[in-house]
């Protein structure tokens, strides 16, 4: 999902949290984490396209899914479990709980938009599939190959 939608959605959820719980930490953590989680795309873009990619090109690569492999380090249900345990263990520290809420909504939106099944956003499942983009994101293949005459370097 595009950055502006995540920003808008995170702002709405953060606003609701603030109005409900009157906690700036909770709201700020939700807002920030719901956006910052997407910074892991930088790792994948640099790994596949090098350091010279400019901002506009960066977004084109992401929006047209120009990846042979995709790690998406921070996009994993496994992090939600760890974050939920941390929130519980700290008696719902507002910053950790806000982060949990922010990344949960982010992952639900990404999952709804980009994936045919929930496994796509499991780090362990992607790892089992060697992080091969075409295997883990089959729903995005029309986007990836539309107008691009791109063939995967992984094809033999």
Which stretches of the chain bind Zn ion, using CB under 5 A? 38, 110
Instruction: For Zn ion, give the closer residue by CB, 89 or 116.
Output: 116
Query: Nearest approach, Cβ of 143 to Zn ion (angstroms)?
Result: 15
Please give the Cα distance from 110 to 84 (Å, whole number).
19
Instruction: For Zn ion, give the closer residue by CB, 21 or 109.
Output: 109
Q: 């809420």: which residue's tokens?
A: 101
**Can you list the pairs that 120-123 forms with residues at least 24 positions away whose Cβ atoms lie under 8 Å?**
121/72, 121/75, 121/76, 121/77, 122/76, 122/77, 122/78, 123/72, 123/73, 123/75, 123/76, 123/77, 123/78, 123/79
Query: Nearest approach, Cβ of 115 to Zn ion (angstroms)?
Result: 11
Query: Nearest approach, Cβ of 21 to Zn ion (angstroms)?
Result: 25
Q: How many CB atoms lie within 10 A of CB 4?
A: 8
Query: Nearest approach, Cβ of 91 to Zn ion (angstroms)?
Result: 29
Instruction: For Zn ion, give the closer residue by CB, 26 or 37.
Output: 37
Name the closest residue to Zn ion (Cβ).
Answer: 110
Provide the token pair at 101: 């809420």
Query: Nearest approach, Cβ of 89 to Zn ion (angstroms)?
Result: 26
Alpha helices in 115-154 (DSSP H): 123-128, 133-136, 141-145
Instruction: For Zn ion, give the closer residue by CB, 89 or 108.
Output: 108
Instruction: For Zn ion, give the closer residue by CB, 2 or 146.
Output: 2
Q: Compute and round to an integer the Cα radius of gyration of the chain.
A: 17
């Amino acid at each position: 999902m595009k950055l502006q939608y995540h920003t808008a959605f995170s702002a709405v959820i953060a606003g609701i949290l603030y109005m409900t719980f009157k906690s700036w930490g909770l709201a700020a953590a939700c807002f920030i984490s719901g956006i910052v989680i997407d910074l892991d795309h930088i790792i994948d873009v640099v790994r596949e396209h090098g350091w010279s990619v400019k901002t506009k090109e960066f977004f084109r690569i992401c929006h047209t899914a120009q990846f042979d492999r995709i790690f998406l380090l921070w996009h994993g249900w496994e992090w939600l479990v760890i974050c939920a345990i941390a929130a519980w263990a700290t008696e719902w520290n507002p910053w950790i709980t806000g982060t949990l809420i922010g990344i949960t909504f982010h992952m639900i939106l990404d999952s709804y938009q980009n994936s045919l099944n929930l496994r796509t956003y499991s780090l362990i499942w992607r790892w089992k599939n060697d992080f091969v983009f075409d295997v883990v994101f089959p729903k995005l293949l029309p986007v990836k190959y539309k107008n691009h005459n791109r063939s995967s370097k992984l094809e033999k």
